[in-house]
Amino acid sequence: MPRATNNAAARQRRKGILHAAKGYRLSKSRLFKTASDQVHKSWSYAYRDRRAKKRNFRRLWIARINAACRLSGMSYSVFMHKLSEKNNELNRKALADLAIHDPQGFEKIVKEVSS
Domain assignment present for 2: no
Return the pLDDT at 115.
82
Confidence at residue 106, expressed as pLDDT on a 0 to 100 scale: 96
Amino acid at 94: A
Name the domain count of the chain. Answer: 1
This prediction has a pTM of 0.81
Cβ neighbours around 51 below 10 Å, total: 9
pLDDT digits (tens, 9 = 90+) for 73-113: 999 999 999 999 999 889 999 999 999 999 999 999 999 99
In the predicted model, what is the mean pLDDT of residues 42-47? 98
pLDDT at 1 over 80: no
- Name the nearest CA neighbour of 16 among 38, 1, 34, 32: 32
The boundaries of the domain holding residue 110 are 7-114
In the DSSP assignment, the letter for residue 22 is T
Percent of the chain with pLDDT over 70: 100
Give me the CATH number covering residue 37.
1.10.1900.20
Q: Tell me whether residue 52 is in a domain.
A: yes
Residue 1 in any domain: the answer is no
Nearest of 102, 93, 84 to residue 61 by alpha carbon: 93
**Is position 98 within any domain?**
yes
